Structure 1
Amino acid sequence: MKYAFYIASFLLAFLLYSCAKQSTPMGGPRDEDPPVVLEMFPVDQSLNQNPEEIYITFDEYIKLDNPNKNIIITPKVNKDELVITSVKNTVKIELNQELEENTTYVFNFQKTVQDLAESNPTENLKLVFSTGETIDSLNFSGKVNNYFPERGFDYENVIIGLYESLDTTDVFTAQPYYLSQADSLGNFNISNIKAGQYRAYAWNDANNNLKAEFKSESYDFILDTLTIDQNLTGAVFNISKGDQTPIKLTRSSPSGSNYDIVVNKDPIEINLENEEIGRSIFYNYSDKKIRLYSKSTIPDSLKIDVKLQDSLGFKVDTAVYAKFEESERRAEKLTFTANSGKSFYQDLLIELSFNKPIDEINYDSLYIAYDTASIIPIQAPMISMEDSSKRDRLKIQLSIPDSIPTEIFTIKAADSTFIDIEGQFNEAVLSANYRKLKRETLADGLSGQINGAVAPFIVQLIDTKSQIAKEIFIEEGNQFSFTLIDPAAYKIRVIEDLNGNHRWDPSNYPEKRYAERVFYFEDQETKSQDIVLKAGWTVDGLTIIAPPKTGLN
């Protein structure tokens, strides 16, 4: 009996320990059930609440996943003052601040709360309460689209925010009054809004500071002030990047025998005006610096009118007084790059980019080689300069007849083939390959129409490396067509070029101007953007449908 008593006591203690110990059972099915709320304080949907702390108790032990980021609280509170902790099966939020009177607060936990054993997140967990007599119930919902989605982009990082119309802050300076995150498809909904007038924005909050970084993050805005006195649905945001800093000249000064003009951001257009520009004075641009070169010294100040424009349309119109003096500073070496590795059918286009303006070319050592001993001499009529004021981008264009069966063509240039404006010769030799395609290996054509937008259009074939393989400009109508295409998988991108300047223009927030629309072909059944072309194929009858414009639709 004595031993039986000890055995019974041991078994009872073991059972009590097993019941108290929180761990995953050995064997059996995996726990896939999320934590279930047992109690909330304040109670969900309760009125006249002004808590100092918030408690939520669950039916099992829990943990929190980055609560300061993932818990969305509206209207805005000072998150730096919050203390969010979890102890066993309870979440505790210390507010450490006064809440606004007669205001509905929403704590959206998203996937923050997870069970301890399997990390199963709670679903649709919200706490809504009011500091006044009523619960605000208005909604603002819609969809976010990204004009230029980058690899790894996630719509769930996009914030949609509402600012009170009289608020002097905006999306670039402070967090919004109301906010929500988009889901994986770009859909969003902001709930429990107080009736009023608001300004609406959307942005990809990559650094999680609840405001947009206009130099690095994609964003969009609705121009009109929204009066929310009923549920607003169908809102559309089309986010894209656009540095809102106006372009300006930061300094200009001599640099050795040259003259530098430094700007704060990249211009889209550069216009330098003086009768010697393109004759004895040339320039190039890199790293936010325009460098002027002169064939001879000019000790007196030379007035040069400088007109610049950035991608947003901001302009600089000023003048500098340049000097080109003798200098003992050693001239920079002449270097170049080639667009090697390109494929072509019959028309071979070779592009050489130099770090300085080119003055002379020795054609005796410049040619195209094929087979083992055959060459095509490059002559002056084959060559053009992209900009005669810069002379730093050289284009060589010629037609290769089908009678030459070779596949690889190599441009060759010995050292000292090119001489720059400072008298420097190229030290490196040039050897760049280009692959000639056979007609029978090409896809015959790709064509279709664009609906829901108005020309002009820029239509681009985008390859799997996100590079532009082909591009056409459509001035009128809505029909597009590409011919003789290298077989591969492509996407079709369309830019609605409203001003016909042959480039995409981003939004201009200070001038309240939307970005030009960008959209893609999408198969209406599969929702895939990919188009696979094979040799001899013709794909026609494609329809590209423009998405809704930014705003309420």
Structure 2
Amino acid sequence: MKLLTQILSLLIIILLISCAKQSTPMGGDKDETPPKLVSVKPINESTNVSPQTIELEFDEFIKIDNPNKQIIITPKIKKDEMVVTAIKNKVVIKLNQDLEENTTYVFNFQKSIQDITESNPAENLKLVFSTGDKIDSLKFSGKVSYVFPPKDKFMKDVLVGLYEKNDTTDVLTAPPYYIAATDSSGNFEITNIKAGDYRAYAWFDSNNSLKAEEKSEPYAFYGDTITIDKDVENINFMLSKADISDLKINRSSTIGENFDIVLSKFPTDITIEHEDLGKKLFYRQNEKNIRFYHTEIRNDSIKTRVSLKDSVGFKLDTLIYLTFEESERNKEKLETTTNSGSNFLKNIKAEYTFNKPITDINLDSLYIKFDTASTIQIKKEWIYLKDSANYTKLLMDIPILDTLPNTTYTIYAADSTFKDVEGLYNEKKVEASYKKLNPETLVTSLDVVVDTEFRPLLIQLLDKSGKVIKEVLKEDTNKHSFTDFEAGTYNLRVIFDENKNKRWDPSNMRQNRQAEKVFYYKNPTDITSMDIIIKGGWTNDIVVLTSNSTEKTSEENIEQDKTEEIIPDTEENELLRR
């Protein structure tokens, strides 16, 4: 009897523990039902309220996920003072700050509120109220895209913001007054806007700072002030990186027997003016560092003009005294990289990059090997500098006779073939291989028409990795035929080369200059695909559509809004029940 009593007592204890423990029920169908809102304080679309606390009650236990990032509040408030807690089936938000008078506030909860069982987020959860006697109802909407589409086709962490016209901050310095996140396709809508004049921006916010980091995060801006006195629609932003920080010299000093200039950012153009340049004075660029070498001067200095330009067009023009001193510091070894692995049809296009300027080449130890024992001696006239002032970039244009076999050709440079400005040689042999293509297997032609009147056009053919295979600048026509390349899958890109420098240029917000426009060919039967599948021996015709023929730019949409009445959408979409 005593044993039976003990067993019954143990079972009761186990049962009580099981009942007390909160857990997900075992078995049964997976819970896919999102939590439903039961009540909210203040009531949605209330007027003349200025709450210090907001409460939301749901039909089940819930949790809160990253509220500082997920909950988007417009106009902006001090989020670092806000405290959000989830207790059983309630979310309580303590604002801990005063709200502006006569202002409509929108709390967009996105996917921040979830049930505790399967993390199903509450759907379309938005709270709107006004501290004044009316609810502002104007909208600002459109789409955000990337100038250069990322691998991930789904948009994430991209925001759009409106700053009041007289606000001295912008997207690079502070969060906006109104803000909204795009959906996965890049569409955005800012609602409940007060009539007024604004400046508009879009940006990728990877660190949740609610502003763009100019050195690392792509962003876009609308060039003019936007007057919002009715709904503004179909605004397009194109995101790209643009570092508009000052171009300056951070440091300059002697390094061993050489002289270094360390810049604040990467220069795209370098011009050095001195009578010894290319004779006794040489330089190399390594990211933000420019190193000068002189073959004769020691313990003395020379006055040199240095002119620099960065990607956004900022310039730096200055006179510098380059100092060269005696030093026992070990010299940097000569290193070489090549474009080994490239293919060719008639001429080998070899590229050699050195970590230091080259002053001499021993042609006797530079030749081509093929078919085991066959060789071709490389001639001086086949070798030239990519830039006449930069002795670190060497090109070779080597003709291969049609009668020679379609095989792999290896440019062989024995040790001590290349001599650098400091008198050092390459210590090891350098080999670079290039495959000769069979013309019978190549694409006959890819005929391109760009649907635009703009000139000049920089047309680029890219492989699947994004590498430019072929490119051409067209100044007088919108047509071009790419020939003699391997079959495969490609993309085609067109750049409106406004300044004719044969490259794409980013925006400059300080100068109110937009980035150069970029357009990709899109499959007419599937606009989500940019792939061009080309077979050997075929001729292909494609048309690249630009915004001039497919959609209006932001500026054009605003101009249309000034002349055409937009009929507002009167259908209510109440996301919170009173």
Please indicate the TM-score interval, normalised by the length of the shorter structure: over 0.9
Q: Output aligned runs, 1:410-449, within 5 Å.
A: 410-449=410-449
Alignment CA distance shift 1:484-1:544 (3 Å): farther
Aligned to 1:256: 256
**Aligned residue in 2 for 1:48:** 48
2-side partners of 1:389 and 1:353: how far apart?
14
Say which is worse superposed, 294-303 or 89-98, in terms of deviation.
294-303
1:401 matched to 2:401: yes
1:161-310 alignment runs, 5 A limit: 161-297=161-297, 299-310=299-310
1:536 aligns with 2:537: yes
Q: What's the counterpart of residue 142 of structure 1?
A: 142
CA contact (8 A) 1:215 1:242 kept: yes
Instruction: Give the direction of change, closer, same or farther, for the CA distance of 1:262–1:543 in structure 2 (3 Å limit).
Output: closer
Q: Distance in 2 between matches of 1:522 and 1:425?
A: 50
How many angstroms apart in 1 are the aligned matches of 2:526 and 2:503?
30
Note the alpha carbon deviations across 1:175-206, whole angstroms, 9 max, x for none. 00000011111110000001111111000011
Give the SS at the match of 2:331. coil
Identical-pair percentage? 51
> Offset at 1:118?
2.0
Cα distance, 1:356 vs. partner?
Answer: 1.1
Return 5+ residue gaps in structure 1 as ranges.
1-13
Offset, 1:154:
4.4
Does 80-89 or 257-266 show the bigger shift?
257-266
1:422/1:17 CA distance change after superposition, 3 Å: closer
In 1: Cα distance, 2:552 partner to 2:535 partner: 33
Bigger Cα displacement from structure 2, 347-356 vs 282-291: 282-291
CA offset at residue 55 of structure 1? 0.8
Please state whether the residue corresponding to 2:390 is helix, strand or coil.
coil
State the distance in 2 between where 1:153 and 1:329 align.
51
Q: For the structure 1 residues 552 and 199, does the alpha-carbon distance in structure 2 shift closer, same or farther, using more than 3 Å as the test?
A: farther
| Displacement after TM superposition at 1:262 (Å) | 2.2
User: For the structure 1 residues 448 and 387, does the alpha-carbon distance in structure 2 shift closer, same or farther, using more than 3 Å as the test?
Assistant: closer
Following the alignment from structure 1 to structure 2, what is the Cα–Cα distance between the partners of residues 463 and 195?
48
Q: Match of 1:308, as an amino acid?
A: L
Shift of 1:548: 4.2
Deviation by residue 1:396-430 (Cα, 9 ceiling, x = unmatched): 11122332224211111111111112111110211
Could you tell me which amino acid in structure 2 is paired with residue 90 of structure 1? K
Output the CA distance in 1 between the equivalents of 2:234 and 2:228: 13
Change (3 A) 1:176 1:552: farther
Distance 1:161 1:464 in 2: 34
Determine the structure 2 residue equivalent to 1:476. Answer: 476
Partner letter of residue 546 of structure 2? I
Quote the residue 1:336 is aligned against: 336
Closer/same/farther in 2, CA of residues 522 and 453 from structure 1, 3 Å limit:
farther
Which residue is equivalent to 1:491?
491
**Structure 2 counterpart of 1:35:** 35
Separation of aligned partners in 1, 2:89 and 2:330: 72
Query: Which residue identity does 1:353 align to in structure 2?
Result: T
Contact 1:112 1:121 in 2 (8 A): yes
Q: Secondary structure at the match of 1:440?
A: helix
- TM-superposed CA distance for 1:487, in Å, is 1.6
Please say if residues 517 and 549 of structure 1, whose CA atoms lie closer than 8 Å, have aligned partners that are also in contact: no
C-alpha separation in 2, matches of 1:204 and 1:420: 44
In 1, are the aligned partners of 2:160 and 2:182 still within 8 Å (CA)? yes
Shift of the 157–361 alpha-carbon distance from structure 1 to 2, 3 Å rule, reads same
TM-superposed deviation, 1:299: 4.6
Amino acid at match of 2:538: W
* Aligned-pair CA distance for 1:452: 4.1
Paired with 2:293 and 2:16, the residues of 1 have a C-alpha distance of: 88
1:73 — aligned with what?
73
Question: Which residue of structure 2 lines up, in the alignment, with residue 61 of structure 1?
Answer: 61
Equivalent residue number for residue 549 of structure 1: 553
Pair 1:353-2:357 in alignment = no
Farther-moved stretch of structure 1 (272-281 vs 71-80): 272-281
Match of 1:155, SS state, is coil
Q: 1:438 to 1:380 in 2, by over 3 A?
A: same
Counterpart position of 1:9? none
One-letter amino acid of the structure 2 residue matched with residue 549 of structure 1: T
336-345 or 447-456, which deviates more: 447-456
- For each residue in 1:225-244, what CA deviation from the matched residue of structure 2 results, as whole angstroms up to 9, or x when unmatched? 11111111111111100111
User: In 2 relative to 1, CA 304–512 (structure 1 residues): closer, same or farther, beyond 3 Å?
Assistant: same
Mapping of residues 120-135 of structure 1, within 5 Å? 120-135=120-135
Partner Cα separation in structure 1 for residue 489 and residue 225 of structure 2: 43
SS in structure 2 at match of 1:484: coil
Q: Which stretch of structure 1 is more off in the superposition, 533-542 or 27-36?
A: 27-36
Q: C-alpha deviations, 1:450-494, integer Å up to 9, x for none?
A: 124611111111212121111111112211321112122111111
Partner secondary structure for residue 241 of structure 1: coil
Cα distance in 2 for residues equivalent to 1:81 and 1:418: 64
Q: Distance in 2 between matches of 1:405 and 1:523?
A: 38
Moved more, 393-402 or 16-25: 16-25
Question: Does the 8 Å CA contact 1:65/1:114 hold for their aligned counterparts?
Answer: yes
* Equivalence for 2:8: none
Checking the alignment, whether the CA contact within 8 Å between 2:140 and 2:191 is kept in structure 1 is yes
- Shifted more, 258-267 versus 129-138: the winner is 258-267
Q: Distance between the aligned counterparts of 2:18 and 2:102, measured in 1?
A: 49
Following superposition, the deviation at residue 76 of structure 1 comes to 0.3
Moved more, 486-495 or 145-154: 145-154
State whether residues 235 and 553 of structure 2, in contact with CA within 8 Å, keep that contact through their aligned partners in structure 1.
no
Select between 472-481 and 161-170 the one with higher mean Cα deviation: 472-481
The whole-number CA distance in structure 2 between the counterparts of 1:452 and 1:50 is 54
Counterpart CA distance in 2 for 1:209 and 1:216 is: 13
TM-aligned CA distance change 1:128 to 1:361, over 3 Å: same
Query: Relative to 1, partners in 2 of residues 1:187 and 1:552: Cα closer, same or farther, differing over 3 Å?
Result: farther
Distance 2:341 2:53 in 1: 64
Structure 1 residue 22 displacement after superposition: 6.6
Amino acid at match of 1:317: D
Distance (whole Å) between structure 2 residues aligned to residue 45 and residue 97 of structure 1: 20
- Cα distance in structure 2, aligned partners of 1:360 and 1:550: 55
**Residues 416, 426 of structure 1: 8 Å contact kept:** yes
Structure 1 residues 144-163: Cα deviation after superposition (integer angstroms, max 9, x where no partner): 12102333474231110001
**Counterpart secondary structure, 1:57:** strand
SS in 2 for 1:402: coil
Please say which of residues 325-334 and 231-240 is displaced more in the overlay: 325-334
Rate the CA distance shift 1:48–1:423 in 2: closer, same or farther, 3 A.
same
Write out per-residue CA displacement over residues 257-296 of structure 1, whole angstroms, 9 at most, x where no aligned residue.
2222221111111111111112221111113121121221
8 Å CA contact 2:451, 2:543 repeated in 1: no
Task: Calculate the aligned-residue CA RMSD, in Å.
Answer: 2.3
Q: Is the contact made by 2:452 and 2:478 (CA closer than 8 Å) also made in structure 1?
A: no
Q: Aligned pairs, how many?
A: 543
